[in-house]
Amino acid sequence: MDDCFEEATNVYRTKHYIVEQVLGVDDNEVECAQLCSHDTFYRRTKKRDAEYEEMFRSRKRIDGKRLPSTMSSRKYVD
């Protein structure tokens, strides 16, 4: 899973998914700037959970937390 999170701004875990969040600013000069989140949801498995826990074992809150954004897109991976 290390390769999956190379571009991640944030990674967190929900009840059913491990989520990679990539944040970027979109400023199209017509509207105001927006904080965009491109999220990839990986279904939790025992192997993915073990890898996640190894990577983020030093966190106070192991599951992490989503960073707020003004718009987002989602992709799901089984």
Taking only the tens of pLDDT, the chain with its 78 residues reads: 667 788 899 999 999 999 999 999 988 777 788 899 999 999 999 999 999 999 999 999 999 999 999 999 999 999
Q: Is this structure's pTM higher than 0.75?
A: yes
Q: Which amino acid is at 29?
A: E
CA angle 8, 13, 16 (to 5 degrees): 125
Q: Where do the domains of the chain lie?
A: 2-77
Terminus-to-terminus CA distance in the chain, angstroms? 13
Residues 6+ apart with CB under 8 A from 11: 5, 18, 19, 20, 21, 52, 55, 56, 64
Alpha-carbon 26 to chain mean position: 18
